[in-house]
Amino acid sequence: MDFPAELKRLSSEVERGIDLYLPPASTPPGRLHEAMRYSLQAGGKRLRPVLVLATARLFPPQSPSPDPLAAAVAIECLHTYSLIHDDLPCMDNDDLRRGRPTAHRQFDEATALLAGDALLTHAFALLATAYASNPSLAHALVSELADASGSRRLIGGQMADLLAEKNERITAADLEFIHLSKTAAMIEAAMVLGGLIASADESAIATLRRAGRHLGLAFQIRDDVLDATADSATLGKTAGKDAKAGKTTFVKLHGLEESQRLARAQSDAARDAVRELRGDRGFLLALIDSMSTRAR
Amino acid sequence: MDFPAELKRLSSEVERGIDLYLPPASTPPGRLHEAMRYSLQAGGKRLRPVLVLATARLFPPQSPSPDPLAAAVAIECLHTYSLIHDDLPCMDNDDLRRGRPTAHRQFDEATALLAGDALLTHAFALLATAYASNPSLAHALVSELADASGSRRLIGGQMADLLAEKNERITAADLEFIHLSKTAAMIEAAMVLGGLIASADESAIATLRRAGRHLGLAFQIRDDVLDATADSATLGKTAGKDAKAGKTTFVKLHGLEESQRLARAQSDAARDAVRELRGDRGFLLALIDSMSTRAR
């Protein structure tokens, strides 16, 4: 398997899906729909939607086989909303995202706020409409995404992260809660959505959940390492901002070398979980590899 | 029927539902869940959730009859999120809501932003979990709510409203688009959710949609009239802020008397639609009356 070519193919598929499943920029009010598309089409790694597509095809095709593309776009809408709101002045106050002005810099704060709200809402609308012919599946997808992105997980992790900035005594357990919630929850959800669409059985869903959790932690630890070691031009976002904000990161808590070892251990655990599944796992294993050794 | 007593009974039922269906304030992170409850428990008219309950019982009970209470709470979560975000400094910058400090004044901007996000997400999570035993119903409810609150309707209306502040040449059609989207969409959704839970047929759902649309317009025109004529103490929110913000309102566009006539015409149309339905319509008709003649 040619991993870079296959990754490129899946990413292009995601780009096509985004264009297909978002309201046209000309839909009134135009400014809102332009801002939604501006943020969603800013590129990025497309990790979560690619995970949905790659996980779905691990399993034997059903008849009829629901297309995982809408779910892939839904999770990218949700991820993008969380970035738009996270970049706002009252949160991280960031000017740069994926090498371009953040939404509130390109438009204004109110438009960015509403575009984030609209992308969050659109994620659920899209799952409900695209899988309407299979209401049980649509319901399972909505449940999974709403749980992963709710006040106990994604949003809870962002709140805990903010609170941790003002707290000097963050423990390893606190930090793991933040990262499990803020990052791992959505990566886990991406793999579970892929499995649900492919009618994976309960045991396979549990395995995917475990794989996603480890992969999410590996990904976030790698993020901390990169924030401490890379420059803004390479990252496409402001580097060193964790240290500047006084944030407790894996690097601050465990040191650089131990953080790198922890990231490897988590990605090994993710790979072990994926190996428990049948199907052609080559691409998914290579993706896990690339995510935990990435340079940006 | 004793309308005030019945309204009080249904409102208390909503309060009970809010307490039941929201995560406890002690759920980590506590500050986030406190803020969600603070805004949701600030009182208010509970119009939308009461409409869900009152509409559901217009129809003959099914076996099993799903409880409309969770859907009532979900729509109040959604409405409350829209108020929290609308009050933020980058939007209306309001300090007072229902006679109490707004969420960002009571907590801080970041907490208010995240509490709004969390209430929006919780609305969908709640529909998905509370109606899980009937996935088709859960799916229909999620579809309806996501559509009403999306970028073409609720959020679109808020964006159009913001853009209209900077525009001197707002037409009656523009203003109707804003009010249909910003206010009527959710009131319509409340009645439709009630109908869906009671297994109303397609024709009844269409009638409820029409009733909700007229009621929503009546309600918003009344809001404009009150903003121009009442004081902050009576309203429990800042009065006269539309004029201050240079907003185009029904009163500005049509004058006070004609606005009052328009509100009456819309509430008459809502009552006519409700009268097309069978069942005990007394409470719903009285509710429409009270909403279009309310003093706050």
Model ipTM value = 0.95
- Probe site for chain A from B22, B82, B155 (most A CB atoms < 10 A): B155
Contact A160 B118 (CB under 8 A): no
pLDDT class of A138 with cuts at 50, 70, 90: very high
pLDDT class of A233 with cuts at 50, 70, 90: low
Q: What is the spatial distance between Cα B174 and Cα B172, in angstroms, rounded to a whole number? A: 5
Contact B23 A152 (CB under 8 A): yes
Q: What is the spatial distance between Cα B208 and Cα B51, in angstroms, rounded to a whole number? A: 11
What per-residue string of b and e applies to B234-248 under the rule 16 or more CB within 10 Å gives b?
A: ebbbbbebbeeeebb
Counting Cβ atoms within 10 Å, is residue A285 exposed (0-12), middle (13-18) or buried (19+)?
A: middle
Q: What is the spatial distance between Cα A256 and Cα A65, in angstroms, rounded to a whole number? A: 45
pLDDT class of B32 with cuts at 50, 70, 90: very high
**Would the pLDDT of A172 be above 90?**
no
Q: How far is CA A38 from the centre of its chain?
A: 18
**Would the pLDDT of A296 be above 80?**
no
Query: What's chain B's average pLDDT?
Result: 93
Q: What percent of chain B has pLDDT over 70?
A: 97
**Would the pLDDT of B293 be above 90?**
no
Q: How far is CA A171 from the centre of its chain?
A: 25
Contact B28 A142 (CB under 8 A): no
**Would the pLDDT of A111 be above 70?**
yes
Distances (CA, A) of B61 to A36, B64, B126: 42, 8, 22
CATH of residue A243's domain is 1.10.600.10
Which residue bears the tokens 């015409």? Answer: B265
- Probe site for chain A from B159, B163, B167 (most A CB atoms < 10 A): B159
Q: Which of B113, B135, B146 sits opposite A121 (nearest CB)?
A: B146
Q: What is the spatial distance between Cα A44 and Cα B234, in angstroms, rounded to a whole number? A: 50
**Would the pLDDT of B126 be above 90?**
yes
Q: What is the CB neighbour count within 10 angstroms for residue A229?
A: 14
In eight-state DSSP terms, residue A182 is: I
Contact A138 B142 (CB under 8 A): yes
Minimal Cα distance from A158: which residue of B? Answer: B114
Note the pLDDT tens digit of each residue in A242-289. Answer: 777 777 788 888 999 999 999 999 999 999 999 999 999 999 999 999
Contact A124 B124 (CB under 8 A): yes
Q: Which of A135, A140, A152 sits opposite B27 (nearest CB)?
A: A152
Looking at the structure of chain B, the number of domains it has is: 1
Query: What's chain A's average pLDDT?
Result: 93
Size of interface A-B (CB pairs under 8 A): 159
Partners of A125 on chain B (C-beta within 8 Å) are: 143, 146-147, 150
pLDDT class of A291 with cuts at 50, 70, 90: confident
**Would the pLDDT of A236 be above 70?**
no
Is the model more confident about A228 or about B88?
B88
- What is the rounded end-to-end Cα distance, in angstroms, of chain A? 23
User: What is the predicted pLDDT for the residue at B4?
Assistant: 94
Q: Which of B116, B143, B156 sits opposite A32 (nearest CB)?
A: B156
What is the domain range of residue A141?
3-293
Q: Which of A28, A32, A91 sits opposite B155 (nearest CB)?
A: A32
Pairing of strands B100-101, A100-101: unpaired
Contact criterion met (CB below 8 Å) for B284 and B55 = yes
pLDDT class of A23 with cuts at 50, 70, 90: very high
Note the pLDDT tens digit of each residue in A141-153. Answer: 999 999 999 999 9
Q: How far is A295 from chain B (nearest CA, A)?
A: 30
Q: What percent of chain B has pLDDT over 90?
A: 76
pLDDT class of A230 with cuts at 50, 70, 90: confident
Contact B155 A118 (CB under 8 A): yes
pLDDT class of A206 with cuts at 50, 70, 90: very high
Q: How far is A6 from chain B (nearest CA, A)?
A: 34
Please name which of B239, B179, B215, B197 lies closest in space to residue B293, comparing C-alpha atoms. B215
Contact A29 B120 (CB under 8 A): no
User: What is the predicted pLDDT for the residue at A237?
Assistant: 65
Q: What is the spatial distance between Cα B274 and Cα B267, in angstroms, rounded to a whole number? A: 11
DSSP per position, chain B: --HHHHHHHHHHHHHHHHHHHSPPTTSSSHHHHHHHHHHHTS----HHHHHHHHHHTTSPPPSS---THHHHHHHHHHHHHHHHHHHSTTTT--SEETTEE-HHHHS-HHHHHHHHHHHHHHHHHHHHHHTTTSHHHHHHHHHHHHHHTSTTTHHHHHHHHHHHHT-S---HHHHHHHHIIIIIHHHHHHHHHHHHHTT--HHHHHHHHHHHHHHHHHHHHHHHHHHHHS-HHHHTS-TTHHHHTT---HHHHH-HHHHHHHHHHHHHHHHHHHHTS-S--HHHHHHHHHHHH---
**Would the pLDDT of B45 be above 90?**
no
**Would the pLDDT of B39 be above 90?**
yes
What angle in degrees, to the nearest 10, is found between the helix axes of A172-179 and A154-165? 140
Mean pLDDT of B195-221: 97
Note the pLDDT tens digit of each residue in A253-264. Answer: 899 999 999 999
Number of H helices, E strands in chain A: 16, 2
Q: How far is A136 from chain B (nearest CA, A)?
A: 5
Mean pLDDT of B219-225: 91
- Probe site for chain A from B21, B102, B105, B113 (most A CB atoms < 10 A): B113
User: What is the predicted pLDDT for the residue at B235?
Assistant: 64
Minimal Cα distance from A89: which residue of B? Answer: B110
Contact criterion met (CB below 8 Å) for A228 and A242 = yes
Note the pLDDT tens digit of each residue in A45-94. Answer: 899 999 999 999 999 988 888 999 999 999 999 999 999 999 999 999 99
Partners of B111 on chain A (C-beta within 8 Å) are: 159, 162
Helix (H, G, I), strand (E, B) or coil at A35: helix
Q: What is the spatial distance between Cα B187 and Cα B185, in angstroms, rounded to a whole number? A: 6
Q: What is the spatial distance between Cα A120 and Cα A24, in angstroms, rounded to a whole number? A: 17
Length of chain A: 296
Q: Which residues have CB under 8 Å from A201's CB, separation 6+?
A: none
